[in-house]
Structure 1
């Protein structure tokens, strides 16, 4: 099975579904990750720093067992200034190259405008008439950024939580920023685990599933 994770920023993929990625890989699935904001911006004006962050992303992908990563060059904290068609077109190339059966992406109710823009662009390609090969769409949780996130789909990550945290620690330019530190992310996984009677879990909103 081919899985595509669509992430706005480097580290979103680990925070939102790092455990799920590890589980998919362990079960023999092919996982791909597409980062939308991979370019320079007001926050990251230095091209050397941008490449440093991308090198972190490559290390994380290797640790998680991701088959291939795609870097788009949209600027951080500026997606709402970009015509949606540009983001939609960039996603089209990746989605139709992979033809994934499962997509993981952002949740709609998010205080981060970049996350909302990526959600909206992704949904264009989640219509059954556009992507008949796509059977499941899951929206992942970014703690501290999402509002009113009430999961209706869970994945136990008891076996994978430590490796998820190890992967997150590789993002040395991001870890400990706001609520994204390792301790917080582990507590979120523990809380979601308690909701389904396991030790650790990731929670998702099931947008659509076709059997």
Structure 2
């Protein structure tokens, strides 16, 4: 892996889903680019009151994780279903064309969040064979989206087949980046709490006999 493109719906998805792995890869010399489709927190209020721009938080988290390139688009939070799928595809295809990644990380089709599902589809379209440089696509899990999808009956559920062991130093980087998002970090026992994020890393690590890990579904890999 030399060039990694991370495609997400919301700022904080990249950190919750693969923050420790991103930090580790960046330290190993992988060039990481982040493409975020939305730039507000409109779902925090049904009336839209108090909606805030999240660019500064995204930039802060990206710096902690070692992300070198950042593209934040202006679609609305929890409103990607009002955007034509062709338009979403074109945004991600442009990122693939300009950045020329060999690997793409994105959200899971199994998530309860429709935004996450739509972005996952757009990333797969943009990374399809014969249309660019992408040789590997992985989807990651996001606490309170992927796990809630499974408990809500979404099928097929997230089933990891690829694990990245991470040292505690990278788990700490992930939690530091997550703090950039302020109110998005909940109190325990919410799954989006720092303790909840650590608990998931411990659980995924225990599946492969290591202390901490992040889990992925390997969608496609060309060897």
With the shorter chain as reference, the TM-score category is: over 0.9
Residue 46 of structure 1 and its aligned partner are, at CA, apart by 6.6
2:214 corresponds to 1:205: no
Counterpart contact for 1:39–1:72, Cα < 8 Å: no
Counterpart contact for 1:43–1:76, Cα < 8 Å: no
2:165 corresponds to 1:156: yes
Write the distance in 2 (CA, Å) between the matches of 1:17 and 1:30: 15
2:52 corresponds to 1:49: yes
Structure 1 unmatched runs, 5+: none
Go from structure 1 to structure 2 and tell me whether the alpha carbon gap of 1:48 and 1:117 turns closer, same or farther (over 3 Å shift). Answer: closer
Residue 209 of structure 1 and its aligned partner are, at CA, apart by 0.6
Report runs of 4+ in structure 1 exceeding 6 Å deviation. none
Write the distance in 2 (CA, Å) between the matches of 1:94 and 1:75: 19
Number of aligned residues: 208
Write the distance in 1 (CA, Å) between the matches of 2:5 and 2:22: 10
TM-score computed with the length of structure 1 as normaliser: 0.93
Secondary structure, in 3 states, of the residue corresponding to 1:176? coil
Number of the residue aligned with 1:175: 185
Secondary structure, in 3 states, of the residue corresponding to 1:49? coil
Go from structure 1 to structure 2 and tell me whether the alpha carbon gap of 1:87 and 1:157 turns closer, same or farther (over 3 Å shift). Answer: same
Go from structure 1 to structure 2 and tell me whether the alpha carbon gap of 1:199 and 1:42 turns closer, same or farther (over 3 Å shift). Answer: closer
Q: Deviations over 1:79-137 (max 9, x none)?
A: 11211011111112211110100000011111111101111111111211212x11111
Write the distance in 2 (CA, Å) between the matches of 1:22 and 1:40: 25
Residue 43 of structure 1 and its aligned partner are, at CA, apart by 4.1
TM-score computed with the length of structure 2 as normaliser: 0.88
Q: Deviations over 1:36-72 (max 9, x none)?
A: 111574647479821xx21011111111111011101
Alpha carbon RMSD of aligned pairs, Å? 1.7
Q: How does 1:33-182 map to 2 (within 5 A)?
A: 33-39=34-40, 41=42, 43=44, 45=48, 49-50=52-53, 53-131=54-132, 133-146=133-146, 147=150, 148-158=157-167, 159-176=169-186, 178-182=190-194
Residue 152 of structure 1 and its aligned partner are, at CA, apart by 0.3
Residue 27 of structure 1 and its aligned partner are, at CA, apart by 0.6
Write the distance in 1 (CA, Å) between the matches of 2:59 and 2:108: 24
Residue 181 of structure 1 and its aligned partner are, at CA, apart by 1.1
Write the distance in 2 (CA, Å) between the matches of 1:8 and 1:61: 15
Residue 179 of structure 1 and its aligned partner are, at CA, apart by 2.3
